[in-house]
Structure 1
């Protein structure tokens, strides 16, 4: 049996944390809703989901747990290069798709935008940087996001960095050193919260390094939870844990955000990960959680092109409350449906093709043919 067959068998026999998959989907819906509401409530204290951006920190923590669970016991056998190629195959097709959708929305937005203000060369360069996750915050019409054609890609940039650091450093170190790094990162989270008044940074040029702090603590915390086996067996349902997760996103904004947000990231999210890993499911909820987990990443990476069009529409047309509610609800449903189509038609087939090509190459290398 070759390495890839062993890997596939290992993953099939390992326990799967379906509740965590489901919570990932809940967090993805929360962040999409937050992005809708950002346009409506420029004052975050009036936004009912004003802390929806913290979903990214939950993603980071979950990522650390999942990466440790999936690769700690096999990365040394598969090798660093194979690990990194696997992560690129898993993540990058949707980075490209999100960039293409963002470019199309920029050029053909029916409700506004000013692509004519930018040279063809600048647009091409920005698109190139978006595809290859090279930060370039130069498009004013896109809020000077690090990745102008797909703003959420800033978190994927740091996800890649975390995966690289894991491959070269984190998988080799013991739990005591991991705990020390986590504590130091926790102090950095507290500093960022106090300095900025919140943890919203990471997506723009001026807040670039805030993103490094957010990924550092949460990824390390997730990895520490896995390695310490801090799994809390419980009878909380998926619905119960989803409500607990949503409470973090809808908690009121106040002058104490600099304190409340770090507390959520440092303690509340890790506890939810531990609870989610220890929860059990009925068959009906299991299917829902599996679907929720599968759709979460495609939804996260494809929704923002529509959000810019929504923003321009809202700014120019000022729809009433009833109309706005209908637009947002319909938008969420349509975005989930579109994400599903992207996943089934594009993402899964492409990842399967790339994985097969990679496996063929590895088989030839093992046979000494190349």
Structure 2
């Protein structure tokens, strides 16, 4: 029995991908503990988790929406137009994104008032915060924030590019052939190599000076996920051992302390797509204990950990007279996971439910008004 048929018996759910997303989100958190909070660096290539996120997003969105959007020759029940898809994505992403930008923005304002010599001017801080709350980038150079697109909450840069990719896919790419998708992946891969060589790194997209690299990263990663979804029926079914192997391979890619550009390009463009292939083919097998819970909190953890790290590390450095956190920075992981769980259960899920009902009521109201308008016409 191939993977696609076996998954169809479980509502098309690829549970292992949730665990992989959770592992990647934790790796990004640990990466930022090392780079932003002065802690020990356990994942020197942790930024590559973003490339894996893009690949996951392409596959999972295609699984959930391709047929409903009329893609690949489908005409599914419960069809959805572009506007409906855009509303669904907004409901899914907005609560955590706005919360993260709000907390980070308040921190930047407080830092500006308390230490103006280490901050951008207040008017620039407020304007940048307003843009970031709308998941829009800051495109000017700041005294303290440099060319950073989302100083209120750094990881929002990847959500910005993912939103662009999601909307472009639903509007145009969803109805393109598999051959066109493959060509797009090849072209974006070539552009990614050129951007990485020009900038000397693959850690691109979070600054205005590397917007081209961010666009290439999301086009390649998201395209890989879409392409794999089209080809999933040809994958063999893998045994349960494949699930922890895929998880370990993901950790290996981000933890190995080799940062030469040819190696990181190989990881992002060859190794991580292969990891995703194994994860998809492993079906519903579990990888690690607690992986399902980690998958649930992955998006809140990704969306709020940087502003919380800024607050916690600032307070710790003040108490430690500027000394780096070192290994003690790992103590921040449990409270960050707890915060992510609280955000998920107390804010994200209730807000998504409320927003979804509100949009449903609006759609019903429009549907009931339209026949009346047609009658009067």
TM range (shorter): 0.7 to 0.9
- The CA distance in 1 between the partners of 2:339 and 2:45, in whole Å, is 25
- Confirm whether residue 209 of structure 1 aligns to residue 215 of structure 2: no
| Change beyond 3 A, Cα 1:363–1:173 | same
Greater Cα shift, 216-225 or 70-79: 70-79
- The CA distance in 2 between the partners of 1:286 and 1:250, in whole Å, is 17
Deviation at 1:12, TM superposition (A): 10
- State the Cα deviation string for residues 273-320 of structure 1 (Å, max 9, x = none): 11111225568x688333222111100010111232355444973547
- The CA distance in 2 between the partners of 1:180 and 1:200, in whole Å, is 24
- Confirm whether residue 251 of structure 1 aligns to residue 251 of structure 2: no
Aligned residues: 350
Residue 92 of structure 2: which of 90, 93, 103 is its match?
90
Q: Secondary structure at the match of 2:43?
A: coil
Residue 233 of structure 1: aligned partner: 237
Pairs within 5 Å for 1:320-335? 324-326=326-328, 328-335=329-336
- State the Cα deviation string for residues 150-201 of structure 1 (Å, max 9, x = none): 1110001101110111011110100011111111111112212222222001
- State the Cα deviation string for residues 215-257 of structure 1 (Å, max 9, x = none): 0101001100001115442222543322110100012325xx2
Residue 59 of structure 1: which of 50, 53, 58 is its match?
53
CA contact (8 A) 1:28 1:300 kept: yes
Residue 76 of structure 2: aligned partner: none
Deviation at 1:143, TM superposition (A): 4.5
Deviation at 1:13, TM superposition (A): 6.0
Residue 218 of structure 1: aligned partner: 221
Residue 161 of structure 1: aligned partner: 164
Residue 15 of structure 1: aligned partner: 12
- Confirm whether residue 306 of structure 1 aligns to residue 308 of structure 2: yes
Residue 366 of structure 2: aligned partner: 365
Deviation at 1:142, TM superposition (A): 3.4
CA contact (8 A) 1:62 1:219 kept: yes
- The CA distance in 1 between the partners of 2:197 and 2:293, in whole Å, is 38
**What RMSD, in angstroms, separates the aligned Cα atoms of the two structures?**
2.7
- State the Cα deviation string for residues 86-124 of structure 1 (Å, max 9, x = none): 1011011111000111022223469x7538855543332
Greater Cα shift, 138-147 or 218-227: 138-147
Q: Secondary structure at the match of 1:317?
A: coil
- The CA distance in 1 between the partners of 2:332 and 2:301, in whole Å, is 12
Q: Secondary structure at the match of 1:368?
A: helix
Residue 79 of structure 1: which of 57, 78, 81 is its match?
81
Q: Secondary structure at the match of 2:339?
A: helix
Residue 63 of structure 2: aligned partner: 69
- State the Cα deviation string for residues 131-159 of structure 1 (Å, max 9, x = none): 11221144433354101101110001101
- Give 5+ residue unaligned stretches, structure 2: 1-7, 71-78, 373-377
- The CA distance in 1 between the partners of 2:130 and 2:340, in whole Å, is 23
| Change beyond 3 A, Cα 1:100–1:115 | farther
Q: Secondary structure at the match of 1:27?
A: helix
Residue 7 of structure 1: aligned partner: none
